Structure 1
Amino acid sequence: MKALTWHGEQDIRVEEVPKPELANPTDAIIEVTATAICGSDLHLYNGYMPGMREGDVLGHEPMGEVVEVGRDVETLEVGDRVVVPFTISCGSCWFCGNEMFSLCDNSNPNAELASKAMGHSPAGLFGFSHLLGGYAGGQAEYLRVPYADVGPVTVDSDLPDEQVLFLSDIFPTGYMAAENADIEDGDTVAVWGCGPVGQFAIQSAWMFGANQVIAIDRVQERLDMASDHGDAVTVNFEHEDVYDRLQSLTGGRGPDRCIDAVGTEAHGTGLEGVTDQVKQEMHLQDDRPHVLRQAIKCCRKGGTLSVPGVYIRESDNIPFGPLMNKALTVKSGQTHVQHYLDPLLEKIEDGEIDPSFVITHQTSLEDGPEMYETFNDKDDDCIKVVMTP
């Protein structure tokens, strides 16, 4: 089968790889009908994620048709149309029992490696390095889905793939980010990063009762999308000071809730931004935490900082003193996707949201390497790529 494979920094190829087979009686095989490139994939593309091996199959936002099921699979049948969450979860450990699916104790076969790096291992993830399981991803013609009774959600309606595909990751991720922000009626919410996750965090902030949503980015087409589709006030950090603008928009108090939808590859301005870039290139720090620093400074006293943006390892010069003295609450984590699948699918089916608004490029799997480059470089007004194998 054809798949997109990783061969080093900014080296993605379309290759023939073996078609997956059932490895356990709880597995299913799906024929992928749509798959996307996520902003998190760019961390792999740019060489920031440890544990990648040459030839790894990428991708963690797939959906398709079930073509084979293991003998112990009870909820899926051949022919079912399903969206597959990027988190792989057993459904039976303590964390899954408490619906913290991205913290599953049993789905990462390389848990010992992850524990050495983090203290404990989170769940395995599709197409996201051997540190998190080494599972083949969904940017391919077929995908093996472990714990098939726990992960996929069946789509019985005739909604097109483009409207439901993002249940695999970015819609639940943006929604959980807003939920983690503890938004109350009347709050002002500031969202750093207007990529796809940021766009869904903006949409979700309104669902939780925000009175004002402020979108911060430097890419004009992303800011335009946040304004046109998300009714957000926009701030271009290359043209104005973020702190000053946020204070002006909130009467000097600061946003009640701040969401970092950027993560490890934040683009800072001035000396701080240059210093972060140099430190990262010289391997003196792993992440560029500019947004974390800025959000801590900008958030009102007693406010909440929600972090859906992916960070890899260590960050330098985090202002923990201001965070503590301002009594900020911080919530973060990979998304517990399975917890959100049914209620968010219902929102789509009820017409409350059409997630396809973020799609700017639709293409074939063969164009994947070119699309990685386009997405990474933010060329051609590229915000979200969907591929059909």
Structure 2
Amino acid sequence: MQINSREEKHFAKSEEAKPLRIKDAEGSYLISEEGKRYIDFSSGWCVGNLGWKHPQIDEAIRNFKGPTYIYPHFEYEPWFELASLLSEITPGKLTKCFRATGGTEAVEIALQAAMAHTGRQEFIAIDGAYHGNSIATQGLVGDSPFFNWKKLKPPLTEESLNDLEKLLKGKKVAAFIMEPVSMNLDVMIPKAAFMQGMQELCRKYGTLIIMDEVATGFGRTGKLFATEYFDIEPDIMCIAKALSAGAAPIGATLLNKEVGKSMQEENYPYSTYGWHPLSVAAAIASVRFFQKHWDELQVNIQFMNEYFQQRFSQMEFKKTPKMNIMGMAMHLDFGKSDYGEKVTERAFKKGLILAEGTTLFPALDIDFETAKAGLDILEKSL
């Protein structure tokens, strides 16, 4: 068959695209080339936590007068401002901040930092989780010919601690990495007893704790960072996605003082486009908005969390789902049935976009009318 279209001939896709060509996006809506408005309950998988084209962040980009680019070996005042802001808002004692272009690079830097500080080469991750698209980050949760990763099987309960200790006992593990709430494992919420026990075991065996807050950070679960639910003090934290509310690519790796010192002495990471000036302007505006409006955002998150759960409880599903919900991270689990995928596809045709597998990540500041309209479509798609 002859290939004529530019898309098929020249553009490589990693997976089958949805039949939707985006022309614009605003608030909780995506607009197609044909002008159809879709209610967005996916937020680009936890990127648009403040909706699309957020006024304050848009204004920061429009008014940006800084340099086009900064060579990484030079200095730039807004870098210091953003690093200071991130150290202020993140939990624990994360005082040193490294620049990254996004989540994958942020995790790569975290792995390098853990090896530099401990002198160890092994890592533990949750089986089936997701931490990025590079060979190293893919190897964390899959089979890799290059690295020796260990996997801890979910669910994460107090009983899991015995398995974790077996993996740690040899004192060869540089770090244990996890999302405090595993978004790619259907919003899997660990038990508090596991999290406390995990921290104690990691301290006992000299293993660092990496909290991957790329998807969970910036309010998605109802706390500014999901780590705060569990009273964990991470040695390293990775952030990206909602850091700029999707306005520009950016990520960051935050380390405590001791790990940061080891990283700078042993293996300072180089990132050509890490913290591009325009991305930094967007990120600073985003962080400052969260600082100023976090209380009112929390009120809306709590209200919407209760409203969504109320609506779910009233819906007549063909197969009753298990509901994994924390803040504005929600997954309707239908087990091995493909019912959830069918509901997601029917909802898409009616104008509602869900994340994969009947997962919902609405904007944190979504208004009631939009939330109700989206849930009405969901109910009509059952």
TM-score (norm 1): 0.36
If asked which structure has higher relative contact order (CA below 8 Å, sep 6+), I would say 2
Structure 1 or 2: larger helix share? 2
